[in-house]
Amino acid sequence: MNKEIKFSLVYRDMWQSSGKYVPRVDQLKKIAPVIIDMGCFSRIETNGGAFEQVNLLYGENPNKAVREWTSPFNEAGIQTHMLERALNGIRMFPVPADVRQLMFKVKKAQGVDIARSFCGLNDYRNLELSIKYAKEAGMISQATLSITHSDIHTVEYFMGIVDKAVEYGTDEICLKDMAGVGRPVTLGKLVYEIKKKYPHILVQYHGHSGPGFSVASTLEVAKAGVDYVDVAMEPLSWGMVHPDVITIQAMLKDAGFKVPEINMKAYMKARVLSQEFISDFLGYFINPKNRYMSSLLVQAGLPGGMMGSMMADLQGVHQGLNQTLEANGKNHLTEDDLLVKLFDEVIEIWPKLGNPPLVTPFSQYVKNIALLNVMQEVQGKDKFSIIDNNAWDMILGKAGNLPGTLAPEILKIAKQQGKEFYTGTPQENYPNELEKYKKEMKENGWEFGEDDEELFEFAMHDRQYRDYKSGLAKTRFNEELEKLREKTHNPSKGKNKIKADPNKKDIASSFMGRIFYNLNYYIEEQTIEIGSQVKKGQRICYIETNYTYDEIVSDFDGEVVEIFFKNGDMVSKGDVIVRLK
């Protein structure tokens, strides 16, 4: 056989599939030469996704971090790659075209070689500009398929996206199996078809370990002609993360493939350093449940990181739902009962919502609708009676075309609520904004930075960048870390002990995170204040958890009589945010 298979270490994703943060720049610089000494990696995933937000939230300069982190790999001849979300760039919501274009120029100048670009809906229209801008900037364009499993997501379906990406000029194709639910044989067939039709295109496989298919999938795609395989390393391999390089290397070697040797002395040193980073502070942000695999993910198709989020959701509503059941003379539900209900609900509603691949942020939208449906059902109310605004944008086509067909009941609700479907190119919804940010930077006396990198960072993450520049980000991060340390050593400390009032209706947080009443600096969003009239289903706030923004919506009509947190405050799961009468 003797085909060569090369390895890419997804160091960024290892951390962010485990918890909220990645190591600081001083820690990244410390481990980079050790990763190089391992001698088995041709590529390193250095940034993208939420990487820049991490640095901003620390109070660090993200551009300095990217330059210093990529530099040793550039010098060693190891390619670096980033992850970007096409229409959403490296944030969670759509990005204007001029900001997207600047991103590729900046990242290339900072030492990033490859742009791994994916659309969470697999809408090739969203990939077109990513491919164009990456090539113009001198980067390698790696168009990416968001892998999931359904009757719709066939080899033929994915090949249709590949055909368009090749037409647009992509250099490579990546199979992003973000939930690890891609079936091994089917993935092998897909790689075979890509290599047969486009032998000049390099193919890379990225598979999470969650439900347990990833090792078999790696072997199947290797047999089919894959060129690169993404791997992780201890102490952040397996679980909901990625397979470890040691196992993958041994398996492929036994199968007759040419694979690089691993310097085990360097591997162990890198393992020790990563554990040091965990012990230093990163471990406070890592959910221990992410260390485990779960076959429950096979049918639901949700990414592993959603497990922790779902458990937090269920714990947040468990007591209230049981109180409702008890009041209606029904038996209590255990947490396991609720978990099964939620998984079943995801399985049922996914095709009704058009089969969006369950990747960030669409996995959150589907999960949130499922949770609200479970809550409504227990309370004897209609399903789909509460759908948040972000989920409606997905349903209405503002993020791209859904792979499947919306169920008649969803179309009926949309019509009843006067919703309008969008059929144009998603990017056209978001006009250019760079001039606006340039103007504000000049007014503030802020430098645009080398290669306009500070301008880019501000335009991409405006709220976080302002907090970074003011010093508020560092203060908030230290407060967040201190709160977690206190919670670890004194679990009862830190909660807002609001005495229940039977005549009032409390709206509590289902998550631990930072509260925001308004996400956009420029666009006025409805916010609440004392005396505001709230309707059932209305958004109260967002909770930022692992760079996703979960909406907290009201399950009641009422008047706001108390607000217990300010914008930007940290909240714990179960904290009462707002009280209504």
Question: Taking the C-alpha atoms of 465, 466, 468 and 473 in order, what is their torsion angle to the nearest 10 degrees?
Answer: -110
**Can you read off the two tokens belonging to residue 433?**
């904004």
The per-residue pLDDT for range 55-105, each reduced to its tens digit, is 787 888 989 999 999 999 999 999 999 999 999 999 888 999 999 999 999
Query: Which of 71, 73, 72, 57 lies closest to 24, judged by CA?
Result: 57
Do residues 304 and 286 both lie within one domain?
A: no
Strand partners, 507: 578
User: Does some domain include residue 197?
Assistant: yes
Cβ neighbours for 255, distance < 8 A, ≥ 6 positions apart: 1, 219, 222, 223
The pLDDT of residue 515 is 86
pLDDT tier at 508, thresholds 50, 70, 90: confident
**CA 318 → CA 104, 324, 337, 578, 580, distances in Å?**
45, 10, 10, 19, 20
Is it the case that residue 1 has pLDDT exceeding 60?
A: no
**CA 24 → CA 48, 57, 66, 277, 458, distances in Å?**
15, 11, 11, 9, 20
pLDDT tier at 304, thresholds 50, 70, 90: low
Rounded Cα gap, residues 191 and 207, in angstroms: 14
Residue linked to tokens 């179309």: 411
Do residues 200 and 333 both lie within one domain?
A: no
Which segment of 34-48, 223-237, 465-479 scores lowest on mean pLDDT? 465-479
Q: What is the mean pLDDT of residues 325-345?
A: 79
User: Does some domain include residue 435?
Assistant: no
Do residues 276 and 332 both lie within one domain?
A: no
Do residues 220 and 79 both lie within one domain?
A: yes
pLDDT tier at 514, thresholds 50, 70, 90: confident
Tell how strand 576-580 and strand 505-508 pair up: antiparallel
Q: What is the mean pLDDT of residues 415-421?
A: 94
pLDDT tier at 463, thresholds 50, 70, 90: confident
Do residues 241 and 328 both lie within one domain?
A: no
Do residues 273 and 310 both lie within one domain?
A: no
User: Does some domain include residue 74?
Assistant: yes
User: Does some domain include residue 576?
Assistant: yes
pTM for the whole structure:
0.85
User: Does some domain include residue 320?
Assistant: yes
- The single-letter code of the amino acid at 561 is V
Do residues 247 and 327 both lie within one domain?
A: no
Question: According to DSSP H, which parts of 225-304 are helical?
Answer: 245-254, 264-280, 297-300
The per-residue pLDDT for range 159-186, each reduced to its tens digit, is 999 999 999 999 999 999 998 999 999 9
Do residues 300 and 267 both lie within one domain?
A: no
The per-residue pLDDT for range 132-167, each reduced to its tens digit, is 999 999 999 999 999 999 999 999 999 999 999 999
Strand partners, 232: 244
The number of folded domains in the chain is: 3
Q: Which of 290, 320, 349 is the last residue of a domain?
A: 290
**Can you read off the two tokens belonging to residue 558?**
């009422």
Spell 292-301 as b/e; 16+ CB within 10 A means b. Answer: ebbeebbebb
Q: Which of 290, 324, 348 is the last residue of a domain?
A: 290
Exposure on the CB side of residue 24, measured as CA atoms within 13 A: 13
pLDDT tier at 243, thresholds 50, 70, 90: very high
Do residues 140 and 256 both lie within one domain?
A: yes
Do residues 74 and 123 both lie within one domain?
A: yes
**Which of 191-195, 422-426, 558-562 has the highest mean predicted lDDT (pLDDT)?**
191-195
User: Does some domain include residue 488?
Assistant: no
Domain housing 521? 505-580
| Residue 566: CATH number of its domain | 2.40.50.100
Q: Which of 419, 436, 467 is the last residue of a domain?
A: 419
Rounded Cα gap, residues 527 and 533, in angstroms: 11
Contact 109, 141 (CB under 8 A): no
Contact 469, 61 (CB under 8 A): no
The pLDDT of residue 16 is 85
Rounded Cα gap, residues 410 and 266, in angstroms: 54
The per-residue pLDDT for range 270-299, each reduced to its tens digit, is 999 999 999 999 998 887 777 888 887 887
254: exposed, middle or buried (C-beta count within 10 Å: 0-12, 13-18, 19+)? exposed
Pairwise pLDDT comparison (267 vs 341), residue with the higher score: 267
Do residues 204 and 298 both lie within one domain?
A: no
User: Does some domain include residue 496?
Assistant: no
Do residues 332 and 260 both lie within one domain?
A: no
pLDDT tier at 547, thresholds 50, 70, 90: low
Tell how strand 114-118 and strand 539-545 pair up: unpaired
Mean pLDDT, the chain, whole residue set:
89
User: Does some domain include residue 155?
Assistant: yes
The pLDDT of residue 308 is 56
Contact 400, 121 (CB under 8 A): yes
